[in-house]
Amino acid sequence: MSDVNDDRHEHVPSRQRRRFEGISSRAYEHPADRSALVALRKLSGFDTVFKALSGLLPERSLRLLFLSDSVRVSDEQFAHLNDMLRDACYILDLEKVPPMYVTQDPKPNAMCIGLDEPIIVVTTGLVELLDEEEMRAVVGHEVGHALSGHAVYRTILLFLTSLALRVAWIPLGNLAIMAIVTALREWFRKSELSADRAGLLVGQDLQASMRGLMKIAGGNHLHEMNVDAFLGQADEYEVAGDLRDSVLKILNVLPRTHPFTTVRAAELKKWAATRDYQRIMDGHYPRRTEDKDTSVTDSFRQSASHYADHVRGSKDPLMKLVTDLAGGAGDLGGKLFGKFGGGSGGGNAGNHGTPEDE
């Protein structure tokens, strides 16, 4: 690990950033994301199968579209973004710098797609919204996607979503495709948390990452926003309501490829406070050379452990009910009645709850 000097950037505060030589994407990947990726990488012939799919996927069309109707980042065009891109690849030790395009779209967005070679696309809305340090975290986020190999699955997700719309008139065909799309979306939401961590490793400025997420949620009005209050929304979102609200949360998030912005901010802040993050910053992290020896079983065990810890520590009413039931805490019917009734119904519903339920 070494330091990267950014003195050459005119608009970026002069400071040094650490470089993570040979870092494996496993270092920053969310446990659920990591277990899926480890399993896929271990599958014999996996790469061959997906490359065979490239003839069906609109990858070539997308590349030609961005080349012909967007601005390719280079030393001559959006040079400051090109510097950030090269720095991000250097910090995460990604040998081949992916092509990057700026496309006209007022909605702030960025993506990393492609099967054979990933490409990064950012919208003008995002470029105009974020300052240099906030944008650096976003570029690092997309480079993290490229290092993890997420671009392949994102491209497939885009293809399947489009296919589902075309075959919506075929009931069983549409159901089968949507089942795959729903599973891919759940995985991809976790991959976004991984990429947020990669963005932090590149920018090495937690406040800039927080500001960027706040701006994506509330626009360019930082003087009207507060980080602590914004993070407080994530806590309120998790705690608020009863089981009906828990179900609505699930229904709201199912069609999304990204977690909600307040949740992303809270998750990133939580990870930045962990020993895992500090060890990476101190130069202790898994290397790519060790990826082939990674155990699928261990990765799934870590993922299962993470989800179990999440359920136990969650303040969401549904997760609390699951924890209580798993611990043998009381009557199912009574608990459901108390939860859906808001704990204020008549009869003996109150006798089935715990002080935390009320």
**Phi–psi pair at 257, nearest 5 degrees:** -95, -15
Mind listing the pLDDT tens digit of every residue in the chain (358 residues)? 656 554 434 444 446 899 999 999 999 988 767 665 555 555 445 555 555 555 555 566 777 788 889 999 999 999 999 999 999 999 999 989 999 999 999 999 999 987 668 899 999 999 999 999 999 999 999 999 999 887 776 666 666 666 555 555 555 555 655 566 666 666 678 889 999 999 999 999 999 999 999 999 999 999 999 999 999 998 887 776 555 555 565 556 665 667 889 989 999 999 999 999 999 999 999 999 987 766 545 544 554 455 455 545 555 454 454 455 455 444 444 444 454 444 444 444 444 343 344 4
Nearest in space to 187 (alpha carbons), one of 159, 163, 156, 217? 156
CB 140 within 8 A of CB 88: yes
| Angle, in degrees to the nearest 10, between helices 150-166 and 171-203 | 150
Instruction: Count other C-beta atoms under 10 Å from residue 117's C-beta.
Output: 12
Instruction: Count other C-beta atoms under 10 Å from residue 338's C-beta.
Output: 27
Sign for the pseudo-dihedral over CA of 195, 80, 133, 27: positive
Q: Is the pTM of this model over 0.85?
A: no
The H-or-E segment that residue 111 falls in is strand 110-113
